[in-house]
């Protein structure tokens, strides 16, 4: 069935319905990674979004039970160029078709994703609607005009933990995680570093988070606009100075807001696995994985907030640290290195937790 993705500015791109007939509304974004489509779709940071994959062939590696970053897929719809009917990989356990069916993800294929990506790059990210039920573009435009951006909502309330959960490690560290949409691979790295972790729902107050006397507090990544979480900003502000804090992604933005800085929505967010970042005072760049639409405003930093990492492409802030408190944060995701060792940023945080 002929299907459409229509953008807020009225631009429409034709495609074909792959699986479920229906409609999906969200922020249209694109991800530039060549591999990792299963990890990307199960990453909670993509809640509220229509995800476009720029690599032209998707599904040829299948899926497995080891790589998901969370138990479910989060984008409201998926846009691809070619979706392979077969898969071949020694780790594959199921097809990508089965994955989409299981998670009820509306998928439109045979879209000119290169043209869509160029349009977003030139005009900026915007809301859009996918129609795979036979709706014509004019009807979809009308429905889109009556819909508010998902970024107007507190999306982290959807992705964060509903209850307190814990996993113990053999080491001496105990880390309290404020879970706005934490990724499984991050939890695995903490365990490998000997850190017991305790995940708390995103609305948990300071008293609850400090109740078990953790060695440090981690503010996880998550979706959406950090300014839609004023209660979380208030809670983070109350935690400053009580324990060492590390913010990642959304947690980085919330820490900046708690410290008196501001955030803004970027014209074009960062979504991919090869963004170059340089640490202040260092000459060697880091190649990082990023998934975000919002950024800390460099002009708004108070004197006790120092920039620790900078994006080499657009010079946006990628890391900050308080000069008077044991608190730091990074915008990028702390992936393992080429030898599968835990990320140095996590190791630095645990050094702070030694007290």
**pLDDT per position in the chain (355 positions), as tens?**
899 999 999 999 999 999 889 999 999 999 999 999 999 999 999 999 999 999 999 999 999 999 999 999 999 999 999 999 999 999 999 999 999 999 999 999 999 999 999 999 999 999 999 999 999 999 999 999 999 999 999 999 999 999 999 999 988 899 999 999 999 999 999 999 999 999 999 999 999 999 999 999 999 999 999 999 999 999 999 999 999 999 999 999 999 999 999 999 999 999 999 999 999 999 989 999 999 999 999 999 999 999 999 999 999 999 999 999 999 999 999 999 888 889 999 999 999 998 6
Eight-class DSSP state of 342: P
Is residue 6 a contact partner of residue 126, using CB atoms and an 8 Å limit? no
The reported pLDDT for the residue numbered 23 is 95
Contacts of 330 (CB under 8 A, 6+ apart): 246, 247, 248, 252, 308, 309, 318, 319, 345
CATH class for the region spanning 156-353: alpha beta
Residue 19 is predicted with a pLDDT of 86
- Comparing 2-148 with 156-353, is the CATH topology the same? no
Class of domain 2-148: alpha beta
Q: Residue 337 has what pLDDT?
A: 84
Are the CB atoms for 180 and 156 separated by under 8 Å? Answer: yes
Q: Which CA distances in Å does 200 have to 20, 175, 215?
A: 35, 11, 15
Summarised one tens digit per residue, pLDDT across range 115-126 is 999 999 999 999
Alpha-helical runs (H) found in 11-155: 37-41, 96-103, 113-123, 137-145
Bridge partners of residue 63, in order along the sequence = 94
**pTM (2 d.p.):** 0.96
- Distances in whole angstroms, Cα of residue 135 to Cα of each of 5, 130, 249, 341: 10, 9, 37, 49
Domain spans, the chain: 2-148, 156-353
Asked if 109 and 45 touch (Cβ cutoff 8 Å), the reply is no
Give the span between the Cα atoms of 133 and 323, in whole angstroms: 55
């Amino acid at each position: 069935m002929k299907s459409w993705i229509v953008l807020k500015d009225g631009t429409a791109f034709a495609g074909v319905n792959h699986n479920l007939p229906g409609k999906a509304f969200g922020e249209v974004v694109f991800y530039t990674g060549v591999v990792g489509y299963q990890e990307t779709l199960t990453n909670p940071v993509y809640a509220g979004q229509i995800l476009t994959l720029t690599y032209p062939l998707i599904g040829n590696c299948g899926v497995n039970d080891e790589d998901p970053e969370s138990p479910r897929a989060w984008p409201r719809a998926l846009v691809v160029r070619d979706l392979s009917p077969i898969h071949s990989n020694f780790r594959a356990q199921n097809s990508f078709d089965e994955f989409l069916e299981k998670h009820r993800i509306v998928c439109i294929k045979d879209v000119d994703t290169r043209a869509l990506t160029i349009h977003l790059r030139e005009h900026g990210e915007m809301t859009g609607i996918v129609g795979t039920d036979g709706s014509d573009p004019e009807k979809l435009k009308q429905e889109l005009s009556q819909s508010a951006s998902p970024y107007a909502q507190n999306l982290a309330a959807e992705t964060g933990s509903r209850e307190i959960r814990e996993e113990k490690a053999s080491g001496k560290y105990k880390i309290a995680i404020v879970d706005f949409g934490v990724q499984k691979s991050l939890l695995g790295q903490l365990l490998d570093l000997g850190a017991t972790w305790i995940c708390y729902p995103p609305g948990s107050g300071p008293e609850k988070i400090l109740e078990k006397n953790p060695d440090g507090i981690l503010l996880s990544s998550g979706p959406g606009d950090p300014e839609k979480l004023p209660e979380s900003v208030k809670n983070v502000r109350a935690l400053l100075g009580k324990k060492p804090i590390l913010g990642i992604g959304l947690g980085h933005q919330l820490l900046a807001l708690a410290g008196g800085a501001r955030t803004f929505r970027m014209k074009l967010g960062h979504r991919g696995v090869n963004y170059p970042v340089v640490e202040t005072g260092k000459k060697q760049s880091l190649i990082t994985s990023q998934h975000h639409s919002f950024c800390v405003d460099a002009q708004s930093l108070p004197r006790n907030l120092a920039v620790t990492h900078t994006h080499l492409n657009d010079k946006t802030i990628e890391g900050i640290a308080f000069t008077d408190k044991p608190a730091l944060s990074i915008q990028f995701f702390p992936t393992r290195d080429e030898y599968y060792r835990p990320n140095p940023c996590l190791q630095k945080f645990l050094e702070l937790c030694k007290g």
